[in-house]
């Protein structure tokens, strides 16, 4: 259960924003909630009940690529409610459940092909946002 995750794998957001904890999910895959082992794309969130599977890493001040040696916790989430793109110097995808927000780090090797539609949206939207910052008019 997501609520039973030790606090060391969560950080609380800034005051005034979401009250859900924020977590880092590595080696992730999106699956069909009722079909263990069946992969799905995040873009299917409106038409299917999805969940996340992967490994939580403890948040700290290190760059995200240096988290491989941190303490890790396997997880399968409850139903995915939505996902969004965070823009900035390192754009990324965040996924929400009723219990937490998950920042997706790297997909599992056997999930990479299924993740491509969401990855393409992230890449396209990030490039468009960067272009608008340079030339807003």
pLDDT value, residue 9 = 87
Angle at 52 between CA 50 and CA 53, to 5 degrees: 135
Q: Tell me: the pLDDT tens digits for 57-68? A: 988 755 455 545
Q: What are phi and psi of 82, to 5 degrees?
A: -170, 175
**Pairwise CA distance, residues 34 & 12, whole Å:** 30
Say if residue 107's pLDDT is above 90: yes
Q: Tell me: the pLDDT tens digits for 16-26? A: 666 889 999 99
């Amino acid at each position: 259960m997501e609520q039973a995750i030790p606090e060391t794998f969560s950080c609380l957001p800034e005051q005034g924003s979401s009250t859900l904890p924020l977590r880092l999910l590595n080696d992730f895959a999106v699956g069909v909630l009722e079909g263990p082992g069946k992969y799905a794309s995040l873009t299917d969130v409106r038409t299917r009940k999805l969940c996340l599977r992967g490994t939580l890493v403890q948040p700290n001040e290190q760059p995200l690529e240096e988290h491989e040696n941190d303490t890790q916790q396997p997880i399968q989430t409850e139903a995915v409610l939505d996902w969004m793109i965070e823009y900035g110097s390192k754009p990324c995808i965040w996924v929400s459940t009723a219990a937490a927000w998950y920042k997706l780090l790297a997909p599992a090797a056997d999930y990479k092909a299924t993740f491509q539609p969401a990855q393409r949206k992230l890449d396209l939207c990030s490039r468009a946002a960067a272009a608008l910052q340079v030339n807003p008019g």
